[in-house]
Amino acid sequence: DAKTTQPPSMDCAEGRAANLPCNHSTISGNEYVYWYRQIHSQGPQYIIHGLKNNETNEMASLIITEDRKSSTLILPHATLRDTAVYYCIVIDLGGGTSYGKLTFGQGTILTVHP
């Protein structure tokens, strides 16, 4: 699976949009971009995923560049409860033997402050 690069930390004011970048310049055609977050003392939580198109759900939006070499996770109105480590993960789900084996990096520590 392709390697991802994320900034180690970011700050955001409560109520503002949090934009978390991820570089995955070696991504291949069958590889999806997944985002998870991990709040302190909890297990990771799935947020959103995409292949080529932008995606939105009740938690966040995912913007993937046209060349697919980078993406941005957007939390439109960050709250204090969004303070967590955010992981960008690239995974190949295109093959017959593929499955959800996730390779977590260090992630981005997002701190939302009042």
Partner 1 sequence: GAGVSQTPSNKVTEKGKYVELRCDPISGHTALYWYRQSLGQGPEFLIYFQGTGAADDSGLPNDRFFAVRPEGSVSTLKIQRTERGDSAVYLCASSQKTPHTGELFFGEGSRLTVL
Say whether residue 28 binds partner 1 (CB under 8 A). Answer: no
Shortest distance, position 58 Cβ to partner 1, whole Å: 15
Q: Which is nearer to partner 1, 17 or 104 (CB)?
A: 104
The pattern of x and - marking residues 44 through 73 that bind partner 1 according to CB under 8 A reads xxx--x------------------------
Reported for 56-62, long-range contacts at CB under 8 A and 24+ positions apart, including other chains, are 60/35, 62/33, 62/35
Alpha-carbon distances, residue 100 vs 1, 7, 38, 70 (angstroms) = 11, 24, 17, 21
Please give the sequence-ordered ranges of beta strands (E in DSSP) within 57-107, or none if there are none: 61-64, 70-75, 84-92
Shortest distance, position 114 Cβ to partner 1, whole Å: 26
Say whether residue 101 binds partner 1 (CB under 8 A). Answer: yes
Report d(CA 75, CA 41) in Å as an integer. Answer: 21
Take residue 84 and report the two structure tokens written for it: 């967590």
Q: Which is nearer to partner 1, 43 or 114 (CB)?
A: 43
Say whether residue 2 binds partner 1 (CB under 8 A). Answer: no
Say whether residue 102 binds partner 1 (CB under 8 A). Answer: yes
Residue showing tokens 């938690």: 59
Residues in contact with partner 1 by CB under 8 A are 32, 34, 41-46, 49, 85, 87, 89, 91, 93, 98-107
